[in-house]
């Protein structure tokens, strides 16, 4: 019975209103469905539908949710965070695109990347070998100075100031050279990792270029009916 009543109301509006007239459908606080040419003010913020003269839904109006001040502030905070996230993502995408262009413009083949990596490793190896050679020489000098200090101390004499200063200086130098050698070793690891990433990205970009090329060729053939 309720369904027939709704249908009858829709038919009445459909025949009574001009072809371009609008109808609205809404529910009151008790869940009763109403139809009319306008929505009562107290129901404007509630969900309602806009109908054409044939009773078909042409637009949905969602209910307006009234938020507390805390909810509004939280919504603004989340919106701000989302904008920041999008901005960071866009910045990273631009930086990645720039790095990709440099990578493709600098290296033509994977062999070029390997050659560049090996050249940098050779340069660091030369520095490392020099540091290790200096370390060996400094260790030898330090050993001689320590033995000299031991002999003087064993004789019951006070170690001269210049010899003590020489001993401390050689210890500091040795520490500096060892740190330099460790830095060269670390640099080699960084270069290897850097070029591993370069090579992996280079392969991805080349695969993307190949797929684009194949897709273009397929479209060309399709357009030519081949």
DSSP for 33-94, written as a single string: EEEESS--GGGTTS-EEEE-TTS-EEEEEPPPPPPPHHHHHHHHHHHHHHHHHHHHHHHHHH
Pairwise CA distance, residues 112 & 19, whole Å: 73
- Quick check: 16 pLDDT over 60? no
pLDDT digits (tens, 9 = 90+) for 118-128: 999 999 999 99
Q: How many domains does the chain have?
A: 3
Identify whether residues 145 and 41 lie together within a single domain.
no
Identify whether residues 154 and 168 lie together within a single domain.
yes
Identify whether residues 135 and 204 lie together within a single domain.
yes
Identify whether residues 155 and 196 lie together within a single domain.
yes
Identify whether residues 119 and 206 lie together within a single domain.
yes
Report whether 35 contacts 9 (CB < 8 A). Answer: yes
Strands 33-36 and 57-61: unpaired
Identify whether residues 94 and 117 lie together within a single domain.
no
CA distance to 6, 25, 31, 48, 209, per residue, from 13 (Å): 11, 12, 21, 17, 61
Identify whether residues 34 and 15 lie together within a single domain.
yes
Identify whether residues 91 and 186 lie together within a single domain.
no
| pTM, rounded to two decimals | 0.60
Identify whether residues 118 and 214 lie together within a single domain.
yes
What pLDDT was estimated at residue 100? Answer: 96
Q: Which domain holds residue 9?
A: 2-61
The confidence band for 17, taking pLDDT boundaries of 50, 70 and 90, is very low
């Amino acid at each position: 019975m309720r369904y027939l009543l709704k249908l009858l109301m829709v038919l009445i509006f459909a025949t009574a209103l001009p072809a371009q007239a609008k109808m609205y459908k809404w529910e009151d606080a008790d869940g009763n469905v109403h139809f009319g040419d306008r929505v009562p003010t107290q129901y404007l913020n509630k969900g309602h539908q806009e109908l054409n003269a044939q009773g078909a839904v042409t637009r949905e109006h969602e209910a307006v949710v009234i938020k507390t001040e805390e909810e509004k502030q939280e919504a603004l905070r989340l919106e701000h965070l989302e904008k920041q996230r999008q901005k960071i993502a866009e910045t990273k995408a631009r930086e990645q695109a720039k790095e990709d262009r440099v990578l493709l413009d600098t290296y033509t083949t994977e062999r070029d990347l390997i050659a560049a990596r090996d050249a940098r490793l050779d340069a660091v190896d030369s520095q490392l070998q020099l540091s290790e050679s200096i370390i060996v020489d400094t260790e030898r000098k330090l050993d001689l100075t320590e033995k000299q200090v031991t002999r003087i101390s064993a004789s019951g004499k006070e170690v001269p100031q210049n010899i003590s200063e020489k001993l401390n200086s050689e210890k500091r130098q040795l520490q500096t050279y060892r740190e330099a050698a460790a830095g060269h070793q670390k640099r080699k690891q960084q270069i290897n990792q850097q070029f591993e990433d370069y090579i992996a990205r280079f392969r991805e970009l080349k695969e993307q270029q190949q797929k684009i090329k194949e897709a273009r060729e397929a479209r060309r053939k399709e357009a030519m009916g081949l």
